[in-house]
């Protein structure tokens, strides 16, 4: 099977919302009047971002999900995406599974594949996603203000729990492992929540490298500090009710600095608490207030007694 047959069979689907899809030199996009394009790109490299044994359907899902998560963090509505693939060989079963997972998530969000590139090489997947957001109203990292509440969506730490189980540093009962692994391999981007928070949240980021590390980006860009109540951070969905006993220090590490969560961290004025909970209810996503923004720079992580935790938590960095 040649390059063009491969594209036609697995990736060329009719587009409805974009004026021109796959097949020409460029795709054409038309954001609605008064809307800005939000553009984001994320690359997944075999062995670095995913294990070679992962189910290709889950990989197709995740490759798009991590991009939709960035659109969500800006409050953008997904519109279209491009897919650039390096493949070591044409493996039709793999391609069929990958395309199935990819288009299932794309369909859920009305996001159309409009172009890309296909080449031979070590397995690598790059997606660029385009969304639209009312001009001038995108949620940015730079808008947090002293006195704002600090919130996170969903739960944290499951993906890292699964990664540690894969690495063999933690042994998990099978049911907990499968639940955590699903969170790692098939994250749900908080697209509806991001849009529901437009006009309410003052800043937002999606959590890909660990809560505290990503929160640090908001603090730097906004020129503020924060305190976080560690005990309030919503952790480990996979272990809820399952009676998993983890060492307290390890649990904190997973929840506060685990990574690959794809939840949203955001700030909103304390006076708008009810608006935040109403937006979360509309979006069908749980949110938890975990702290507050202060004028004093720095990130203070407090225990249940309000005392600073003695440990440092580093965010993920590919080159450290």
| Contact positions vs Mg ion (CB under 5 A) | 117
Instruction: Classify the C-alpha dihedral 96-159-241-188 as positive or negative.
Output: negative
Report the nearest approach of ligand ADP to the CB of residue 82 (Å).
7
- Beta strand pairing call for 263-268 and 225-229: unpaired
Report the nearest approach of ligand ADP to the CB of residue 18 (Å).
12
Report the nearest approach of Mg ion to the CB of residue 96 (Å).
22
Nearer to ligand ADP, 87 or 279 (CB): 87
CB 211 within 8 A of CB 266: no
Nearer to ligand ADP, 11 or 262 (CB): 11
Q: From the CB of residue 265, how many other CB atoms can be counted at a distance below 10 Å? A: 26
Indicate which of Mg ion, ligand ADP, none lies near residue 210 (CB less than 5 to 8 Å, by partner kind). Answer: none
Indicate which of Mg ion, ligand ADP, none lies near residue 91 (CB less than 5 to 8 Å, by partner kind). Answer: none
Task: Give residue number: closest CB to Mg ion.
Answer: 117
Indicate which of ligand ADP, Mg ion, none lies near residue 283 (CB less than 5 to 8 Å, by partner kind). Answer: none
Sorted by sequence, the CB contacts under 8 Å of residue 311 that are 6+ apart come out as 249, 252
Indicate which of ligand ADP, Mg ion, none lies near residue 83 (CB less than 5 to 8 Å, by partner kind). Answer: ligand ADP
Nearer to ligand ADP, 39 or 299 (CB): 39
Q: Give the integer Cα–Cα distance in Å for 119 and 318.
A: 25
Nearer to ligand ADP, 59 or 85 (CB): 85
3-state secondary structure of 71: helix
If you ran DSSP here, which 8-state letter would residue 28 be given?
B
Q: Give the integer Cα–Cα distance in Å for 58 and 63.
A: 9
Residue 192 parent element (H or E): helix 191-196
Report the nearest approach of Mg ion to the CB of residue 117 (Å).
4
Q: Which residues here bind ligand ADP, judged by CB under 6 A?
A: 7, 11, 22-25, 83, 85, 113, 115-118
Report the nearest approach of ligand ADP to the CB of residue 37 (Å).
18
Indicate which of ligand ADP, Mg ion, none lies near residue 50 (CB less than 5 to 8 Å, by partner kind). Answer: none
Nearer to ligand ADP, 117 or 178 (CB): 117
Q: Give the integer Cα–Cα distance in Å for 123 and 167.
A: 21
The distance from CA 219 to its chain's CA centroid, rounded to whole angstroms, is 19
CB 153 within 8 A of CB 193: yes
Report the nearest approach of ligand ADP to the CB of residue 105 (Å).
15
């Amino acid at each position: 099977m040649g390059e063009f047959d491969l594209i036609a069979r697995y990736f060329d689907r009719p587009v409805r919302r974009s004026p021109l899809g796959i097949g020409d030199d460029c795709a054409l996009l038309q954001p609605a009047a008064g809307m800005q394009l939000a553009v984001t790109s994320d690359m997944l490299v075999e062995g670095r971002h995913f294990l070679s044994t992962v189910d290709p359907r889950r990989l197709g899902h995740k490759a798009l999900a991590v991009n939709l998560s960035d659109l969500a963090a800006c409050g953008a509505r997904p519109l279209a995406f491009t897919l650039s693939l390096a493949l070591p060989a044409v493996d039709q079963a793999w391609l069929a599974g990958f395309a199935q997972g990819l288009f299932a998530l794309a369909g859920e969000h009305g996001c159309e594949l409009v172009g890309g590139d296909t080449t031979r090489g070590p397995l690598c997947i790059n997606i660029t996603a385009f969304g639209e957001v009312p001009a001038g109203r995108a949620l940015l990292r730079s808008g947090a203000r002293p006195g704002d509440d600090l919130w996170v969506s969903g739960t944290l730490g499951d993906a890292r729990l699964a990664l540690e189980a894969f690495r063999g540093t933690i042994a998990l009962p099978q049911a907990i492992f499968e639940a955590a692994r699903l969170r790692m391999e098939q994250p749900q981007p908080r697209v509806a929540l991001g849009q529901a928070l437009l006009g309410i949240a003052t800043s937002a980021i999606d959590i890909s490298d660990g809560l505290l590390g990503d929160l640090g980006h908001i603090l730097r860009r906004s020129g503020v500090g924060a305190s976080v109540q560690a005990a309030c951070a919503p952790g480990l969905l996979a272990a809820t009710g399952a009676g998993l006993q983890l060492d307290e220090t390890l649990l904190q590490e997973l929840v506060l600095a685990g990574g690959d969560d794809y939840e949203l961290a955001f700030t909103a004025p304390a006076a708008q608490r009810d608006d935040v909970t109403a937006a979360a209810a509309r979006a069908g996503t749980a949110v938890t207030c975990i702290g507050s923004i202060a004028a004093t720079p720095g990130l203070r992580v407090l225990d249940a007694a309000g005392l600073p935790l003695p440990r440092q938590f580093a965010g993920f960095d590919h080159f450290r």
